[in-house]
Structure 1
Amino acid sequence: MNKENEGEFTTRRRGAELEAAIIQAAWDELMEVGFQSLTIEGVAARAQTSKPVIYRRWPNREELVLEAIRRNLPPLSDEIPDTGELRSDVIIVLNRLNEMLRQIGQETIHGLMSVLTGIPLSELIGFRRTNAMPIVLNRAVERGEIRQEKITPRITRLPADLVRHEVLMTYEPVSQDTIVEIVDEIFLPLIK
């Protein structure tokens, strides 16, 4: 090999390194051009790889975008609030969910929902595999704010479900006033 050709042979990325580059490229494309304009071609160019390499790992752009969301947004349970008051803790959790939904964007949420029909809504738009609300509620039980028998799986999911519903119906991030209404007028009366 002569000196002119040396630069042509670079070490190819493989495995986890390549996958991480593709996922980061997908996230960057999503944030820069939005869901509707995101293409596998654009992701491949940004990741400096080929479309077939991407399609071997993800069958379509929606699965790739979903994976990019999973890897780039921290789970809501990373920092579970403990203010000493249930109301404040729930409002903090819902604000974090709302921010996560804002980052993902309504266009992305609706686009994913229209194609990935086999994936639960909670998996697509936040509160995925989180234990934030059960922990917040269990702490409130321990403090004597609420009774354990009032806590059911549906009640536990209710505040986040209502925030997601607002986002889906309005195509807008949920206002602070709406979050407070959800907590004060719907959720707390059901569990006290």
Structure 2
Amino acid sequence: MNKTENSRRRGDELLESLYNATMKLATTTKLTNLTFQQIADEARTSRTVLYRRWSTPFDLLQDIYSYKAKKLFDGAFFDELKDNGSLRKDLLQLLTVYQKVHTEIGAEIINNYYFLRAQDKNDNNELLIHKQAVEKHLNATKKILANAEKRGEKIRKISPITLMLPYDLIRTENLIRPTNISKKRLTMMVDEILMPVFVG
């Protein structure tokens, strides 16, 4: 396929081609050095195609994360959660689902997003759906704890910061130990960190 043929591609096919080219380059090129010319060459298209959609490579990278990680943002995976009869089992299920989503999206894409967010000191480019997702994560933990209280389990009174702990644990683990998150490790996180924090 030559440049002219690829330039004529439209819609999702063209976007997927540009996204894949960008992510391939991100494995060998420092993100702050990434240029539209490099991306255009890799995708076998022209810079004009890129400039029609994005002002800078940073904007393109933001869109890639939003596109690839929509499941993480929109919280659709919460539909998989059910009442398992105990707080311990519910928390293990929550961590397992979180990890499944992170695995599906890919550590590279997620880590690149965190890098981009770190460059945006004034939060000018934080995606609205990302902000909305925080509320969904909080509500998921609240629901799990409320179910535990209904069953008679004694739950501590905690802050919103602590409510985000299950998700923050998974994010941290995926940043530090992305290849070592087994079921055994998830169980240890529940038993040694989450249960002592949430149970009074």
**Which bracket does the TM-score occupy, shorter chain normalised?**
0.5 to 0.7
TM-score, normalization: structure 1? 0.67
1:25 aligns with 2:16: yes
TM-score, normalization: structure 2? 0.65
Once the two structures are superposed, what CA deviation does each residue of 1:60-111 show, in whole Å capped at 9, x if it has no partner? 2321112113435561323332112111111111111111111222222222
Note the residue ranges of structure 1 that are not aligned, 5 or more in a row.
Answer: 1-11
1:2-151 paired onto structure 2 within 5 Å:
18=11, 21=12, 25=16, 29=20, 33=24, 35-36=26-27, 40-41=39-40, 50-55=49-54, 60-73=59-72, 75=75, 76-117=77-118, 118=120, 128-130=134-136, 131-147=139-155, 149-151=156-158
CA contact (8 A) 1:27 1:68 kept: no
Structure 1's 162 and 156: CA in aligned 2 closer, same or farther, altered over 3 A? same
* Shift of residue 152, structure 1, vs aligned partner: 2.5
Residue of structure 1 equivalent to 2:162: 155
Once the two structures are superposed, what CA deviation does each residue of 1:1-51 show, in whole Å capped at 9, x if it has no partner? xxxxxxxxxxx97xxxx5xx2796279728x948537975389779xx921
Note the residue ranges of structure 2 that are not aligned, 5 or more in a row.
Answer: 1-8, 30-37
User: What's the RMSD between the two structures over aligned residues?
Assistant: 3.7
Identity of aligned residues (%): 25
Once the two structures are superposed, what CA deviation does each residue of 1:130-149 show, in whole Å capped at 9, x if it has no partner? 232221111112222133x4
Alpha-carbon distance in 2 for matches of 1:27, 1:174: 31
Alpha-carbon distance in 1 for matches of 2:39, 2:181: 31
Residue of structure 1 equivalent to 2:32: none
Alpha-carbon distance in 1 for matches of 2:140, 2:14: 26
* Shift of residue 182, structure 1, vs aligned partner: 0.8
Residue of structure 2 equivalent to 1:166: 173
Structure 1's 27 and 77: CA in aligned 2 closer, same or farther, altered over 3 A? farther
Alpha-carbon distance in 2 for matches of 1:163, 1:71: 17
* Shift of residue 54, structure 1, vs aligned partner: 2.3
